Amino acid sequence: MTAARAGPAGLALLLALAWAGAAWAELHPYSARYSVYRNGKLSGKLEVRLAPEGEHWTLRSELRGTHGLARILRARDTEYVVGDADDAGRFIPREHVRHTRVAGIDDRWVATFDWAADRVAVVHDDRDRYDLPLSGRALDPLSLKLEIQRRLGEPGPDLEFLMVEQDEIDPQQFRALEAEWLETALGCLRTVPLEKVRKNSSRYTRAWHAPDFGNIEVRLEHGKTGGDHLEMRIAELTWGGEPVAARPGCAARQARPPDAATGAPRKP
């Protein structure tokens, strides 16, 4: 989960050691499509896909402005990271590439990870170059998403991270909120909401993760109090090669009779 900036460019940015064989089983291939809204109005769509490609895994993300100002400015953000899974199922990035295009203006960042040297080389538009310390754990925005998903499967997860944020290493901290049943295009889903911790800021970022699907994001909200509000909502999901059929809505779940053993409403 990464913070997006306000405005059309922010919409485009909303959406940031090889091991082989059995370790791949720790990563679950999927593809998802999301609808992106700005101040309640549809602005674009985001497609995300995690799959093995050759000897490595690749997570790809493509955001396109399809409505309103984002469409007029032809906003587009494509991003991918290539890497591998270690024995613990952690995704280890090799290269991360992000290309943003708004109103015909391109912005391209390439980060190449050297884990043996504990450094990452970042190149901006084939011109500006930065050499940054990994501190053994810094990740690009896409790899950070995968690591959040992995840690949410652990009891009492550590939700503090380091992220390669273009020309610097940026500390990231989240806190888990109370579990929530969320109405989605896939039906009523049990979710774990996370909130980004910020100090003295009017900005906010919240994401809802679905444990039934490897803790992938099914909803994200980002904005500034009194300013723009951006939302990303899941529209379609293919999990393990199979399209996910919509479940009953949350109203149907609430209408179910309580479980005889626990007295709690039955799960859908």
Per DSSP, the residues of 131-171 read: EEE-TTT-B-HHHHHHHHHHHTTSSS---EEEEEETTEEEE
Provide the residue-wise pLDDT of the chain in tens; the chain has 268 residues. 444 344 444 444 343 322 223 333 478 999 999 999 999 999 999 999 999 999 999 999 999 988 888 888 888 999 999 999 988 889 999 999 999 998 889 999 999 999 999 999 999 999 999 999 999 999 999 999 999 999 999 999 999 999 999 899 999 999 999 999 999 999 999 999 999 999 888 999 999 999 999 999 999 999 998 889 999 999 999 998 999 999 999 998 776 665 555 444 555 4
Contact 102, 74 (CB under 8 A): yes
The single-letter code of the amino acid at 150 is R
**DSSP secondary-structure letter at 202?**
S
Neighbours of 115 (CB within 10 A): 13
**DSSP secondary-structure letter at 159?**
-
Give the list of residues 6+ apart from residue 8 with CB closer than 8 angstroms, or none: 65, 69, 70, 73, 75, 102, 103
- Copy the structure tokens of residue 53: 């490609």
Question: CA 73 to CA 216: how far, in whole Å?
Answer: 29
**DSSP secondary-structure letter at 88?**
T
Domain range summary for the chain, segments of one domain joined by +:
7-255
pTM of the predicted structure, to 2 decimals = 0.83
Contact 247, 186 (CB under 8 A): yes
